[in-house]
Chains A and B, each alone.
Chain A
């Protein structure tokens, strides 16, 4: 599913090269739940961005479903983000002026889907338990509900990979638990590959495998499967 080989990402700050990722290699199988952990500055956000095709590595290879994404054009990357990847952010990142339904429709709009767009968005919202909130605006929803909308938006294009960046970071622990349960149930029911970036060991414990990052390199993994 995901194959990363000797991934490096170096930022230039003035005349100094700052390596954010310094040779990272791992594989994630289809249907796995993997947590990426690390302190801030460890490179986990950079890794997440590269896995999400939001950013390109300085060197190394990243294969998503066997397709090499390095050297792809902006438009090709946009298409991959649109069809293969669903994002869930800490800050939910919903469009404040659009209704819940419009927010969920958005990826389908960019995918060029017109026929079943509304139906698919409604189905996605039902599956996260927000059938009665379709006409609401994000401001009218609780944090947990907003994150559910974001999950519906991530699933609506039926991607194979869901990337969640601190999905419970802005929620109280109880709501956070609910959101995690929802994400894990998606993994079980639909066989989605789930990658969660977190610094919370309790969340990481729910994953089948955890990748620990320190200073841009993997300094350990634990879980059921070896690298």
Chain B
């Protein structure tokens, strides 16, 4: 008896007991649906986070202040004001460095007429625009002369412009008040999207010098103006590692620190991406593991029903053996049957899991939605896994059927 024949026979016998077959399949359906939903949501989330990070700009290296170590006491990373304008200026001359953008930032209340909102204020240099790939929706970006003259000018993020002016148009030329002081709007940034901590639209940009003197306040470290962070652009993604080590060496000389006691941190976009990818894939594996357990339970259900079915069909097995079925014929017949069951569950489960993913995709989470991503590999994984479950849990019942002695099987009432 060949496999195609067994397949048709298994459909016959499964359809003879439709309700029971469907209930048996349900365990696998739920398991596979859970796996597929988890994978598609997980991969969708990972994809959207990755693409958001990539939209921030490529080839970027960040330097942020690290912990200060003093007599064995260390303060938290980023808390110390250890980066200065002198550091930023020194990094410009390193090999493979295209641009250096020092920043100071803080939060401030911004008002225009009756509108009022609290947002992130960043003091930047003109290089900031090219480094972060910002395009202008209206007006112009901050210029070198703005920086030199400490002008009271501001570039609005698109979300801020939306809130204060009801859109990106009409803002340029108006005066907004930041902490009560008037600033003229000279430009509005085009939206970049992004959510949560990656939202690059909910911010306003002022000249670095203006921020230091009028908004954030000035402090000094080793005789120079303190800044919050430095963003460096490497000339290509391949030189990012060179740039990182170049910066680290330069900063160690300047700050007179040794590895382990650094008061600064250098990291690249790849590092952030790597960390986030690791978190989401760990989460996906974890959730997938839980879904796998429900597949296991479904498999036990299949085994249970197959054992019942073998007992019920003892006479049929006896008859088949009497007319010439070999052990292997019976074994294959029952294996195919349990695999058809689990494969059927797998296919329904994939469809259901896809549907669950789509529904989750419609739900707003943190102001954005996740577009579920159902990849071919997750479909193949679910299909193969459900077939393997059917095979594994079908082996015992099938071998029991195959081992039946024809005489006893025929005599069975």
Q: How far is the CB of B338 from chain A (nearest CB, A)?
A: 18
Cβ of B1 under 8 Å from chain A: yes
Q: Is A111 a contact partner of B324 (Cβ separation < 8 A)?
A: yes
Q: How far is the CB of B367 from chain A (nearest CB, A)?
A: 57
B329 proximity list for chain A (CB < 8 A) = 110
A49: contacting residue among B323, B325, B407, CB under 8 A:
B407
Q: How far is the CB of B1 from chain A (nearest CB, A)?
A: 5
Contact with B along A95-119 (1 / 0, CB 8 A): 1011000000011011110000000
Chain B, Cβ-Cβ closest to A114: B2
Cβ of B69 under 8 Å from chain A: no
* CA A112 to CA B323, docked complex, whole Å: 12
Q: Is A93 a contact partner of B410 (Cβ separation < 8 A)?
A: yes
Q: Is A52 a contact partner of B322 (Cβ separation < 8 A)?
A: yes
Count B interface residues, CB 8 Å.
Answer: 23
Q: How far is the CB of B63 from chain A (nearest CB, A)?
A: 75
Cβ of B5 under 8 Å from chain A: yes
Give the interface SS of chain B, mostly helix, strand, loop or mixed: helix
Known: A54-B407, A109-B1. A93 touches B324 (CB 8 A): no
Q: Is B322 a contact partner of A95 (Cβ separation < 8 A)?
A: no
Chain B, Cβ-Cβ closest to A89: B410
Known: A95-B319, A97-B13, A106-B320. A75 touches B326 (CB 8 A): yes
* Stretch of A78-86, A176-184, A188-196 lying at the B interface: A78-86
Chain A, Cβ-Cβ closest to B5: A109
Chain A 39-93 interface residues, beta-carbon cutoff 8 Å to B = 49, 52, 54-55, 74-75, 78-79, 81-83, 87, 89, 93
Q: Is B324 a contact partner of A79 (Cβ separation < 8 A)?
A: yes
A82 proximity list for chain B (CB < 8 A) = 323-324
Q: Is A95 a contact partner of B326 (Cβ separation < 8 A)?
A: no
Q: Is A78 a contact partner of B410 (Cβ separation < 8 A)?
A: no
* CA A80 to CA B342, docked complex, whole Å: 35
Q: How many A-B residue pairs have CB under 8 A?
A: 61
Q: Is A55 a contact partner of B326 (Cβ separation < 8 A)?
A: no
* CA A89 to CA B318, docked complex, whole Å: 12
Cβ of B406 under 8 Å from chain A: yes
Give the interface SS of chain A, mostly helix, strand, loop or mixed: helix
Q: Is B319 a contact partner of A81 (Cβ separation < 8 A)?
A: no
Q: Is A55 a contact partner of B407 (Cβ separation < 8 A)?
A: yes
B315: contacting residue among A55, A87, A93, A111, CB under 8 A:
A93
Q: Is A78 a contact partner of B5 (Cβ separation < 8 A)?
A: no
Q: Is A97 a contact partner of B12 (Cβ separation < 8 A)?
A: yes
Chain B 127-163 interface residues, beta-carbon cutoff 8 Å to A = none
Q: How far is the CB of B15 from chain A (nearest CB, A)?
A: 9
* CA A109 to CA B345, docked complex, whole Å: 29
Please tell me the size bucket of the interface on A: 20 to 34
Q: How far is the CB of B336 from chain A (nearest CB, A)?
A: 14
Q: How far is the CB of B318 from chain A (nearest CB, A)?
A: 8
Q: Which of B16, B321, B324, B328 has the most CB of A within 10 A?
A: B324
Cβ of B316 under 8 Å from chain A: yes
Chain B, Cβ-Cβ closest to A163: B322
Chain B, Cβ-Cβ closest to A50: B407
Q: Which of A49, A78, A79, A81 has the most CB of B within 10 A?
A: A78
Chain A, Cβ-Cβ closest to B318: A93
Q: Is B316 a contact partner of A95 (Cβ separation < 8 A)?
A: yes
Cβ of A212 under 8 Å from chain B: no
Q: Is A98 a contact partner of B322 (Cβ separation < 8 A)?
A: no
Chain A, Cβ-Cβ closest to B16: A97
Q: Is B319 a contact partner of A78 (Cβ separation < 8 A)?
A: no
Known A-B contacts: A87-B322, A97-B16, A110-B325. Give 13 more (CB < 8 A): A54-B322, A54-B407, A78-B324, A78-B326, A79-B324, A82-B323, A82-B324, A83-B324, A95-B316, A97-B12, A106-B320, A110-B324, A157-B324
Q: Can you pick out 20 interface pairs between chain A and chain B where the beta carbons lie within 8 Å of each other?
A: A54-B406, A55-B405, A55-B406, A74-B326, A75-B326, A75-B328, A78-B326, A78-B327, A87-B323, A89-B319, A93-B319, A95-B316, A97-B12, A97-B16, A110-B320, A110-B325, A110-B326, A110-B329, A111-B324, A157-B324
Q: 10 tightest CB-CB pairs across the interface, nearest first?
A: A82-B324, A110-B324, A107-B323, A93-B319, A78-B326, A54-B406, A55-B407, A54-B407, A97-B16, A75-B326
